[in-house]
Amino acid sequence: MDRPEHLMIAMPSRDAVRSSVLSHLVLCMLHAAFYWKRRTSGDAPITYFFQARSHIVEARTLAVEHARANEVDWILWLDDDMAPPPELLERLHATGKSFVGALAFKRDPPHEPCVHRIVENRAEFFDPDPSEPIVEADATGFACLLMHRTVWDAVWDRTDGRPFAYRTGMGEDVYFCAQARAAGVQLFIVPDLVVGHVTDVVIGREHRLHALATHR
């Protein structure tokens, strides 16, 4: 009999979670746990991995190392400045894709989407069509992303155990996505699943639309 799939929720943290974010994160993690357990009558294991006060490359690498050492099958990545909806995991997992994310927007105007094409080794953002149920992308941030172990194993092997790094025009998360793409792994985005990016307000699609209308 196959063992139940093991989920890990990973969130690097700067130890400074806003109160406006905390309730969203807690509800998202609770809903994720209920969904994951319900799928297997309560038998599926769940691990929570919080790495505080570490460089982001180190924190993300430690999370993947932990997943590889503990037979984790899926990682749900969250960031501590996001306001995810409770059904985030359920919606992402229901796509049936091994590498899939929600849509987030940058905090600063014009609030570009955190979704990219890789062009000449540089990440260029694009606005996914919200009427499409799912779209292909080359890279995204790790603020609201679900991946199967086959994804991080492919990147781990390709990078000799250094799956995250900074490169010109790429943050550590975009670098990971570029390596996954080079390994033949396709990333998908669910355009109507928007995760708020928290500053003094929660940045969502309406802020991007306003910026497009006013920043010409």
Asked whether residue 37 is assigned to any structural domain, the reply reads: yes
Tens digits of pLDDT across the chain (216 residues): 478 999 999 998 766 677 778 889 999 999 999 999 998 888 899 999 998 768 899 999 999 999 999 999 999 999 989 999 999 999 999 999 999 999 999 988 889 999 999 988 889 999 999 999 999 999 999 999 999 999 999 999 999 999 999 988 889 999 999 999 999 999 999 999 999 888 766 678 787 887 777 765
Which whole-number Å values give the CA distances from 119 to 71, 123, 128, 174, in the listed order?
35, 6, 17, 12
What per-residue confidence (pLDDT) applies to 19?
Answer: 75
Asked whether residue 150 is assigned to any structural domain, the reply reads: yes
What per-residue confidence (pLDDT) applies to 144?
Answer: 96
What per-residue confidence (pLDDT) applies to 1?
Answer: 47
- Which phi and psi (to 5°) does residue 171 adopt? -80, 180
Asked whether residue 157 is assigned to any structural domain, the reply reads: yes
What per-residue confidence (pLDDT) applies to 201?
Answer: 64
Which domain does 40 fall in, by range? 7-214
Asked whether residue 100 is assigned to any structural domain, the reply reads: yes
Asked whether residue 164 is assigned to any structural domain, the reply reads: yes
Structural domains of the chain, count: 1
Instruction: Give the CATH number, domain containing residue 59.
Output: 3.90.550.40
Asked whether residue 12 is assigned to any structural domain, the reply reads: yes
Full-prediction pTM beyond 0.85? yes
Asked whether residue 51 is assigned to any structural domain, the reply reads: yes
What per-residue confidence (pLDDT) applies to 215?
Answer: 66
Asked whether residue 64 is assigned to any structural domain, the reply reads: yes
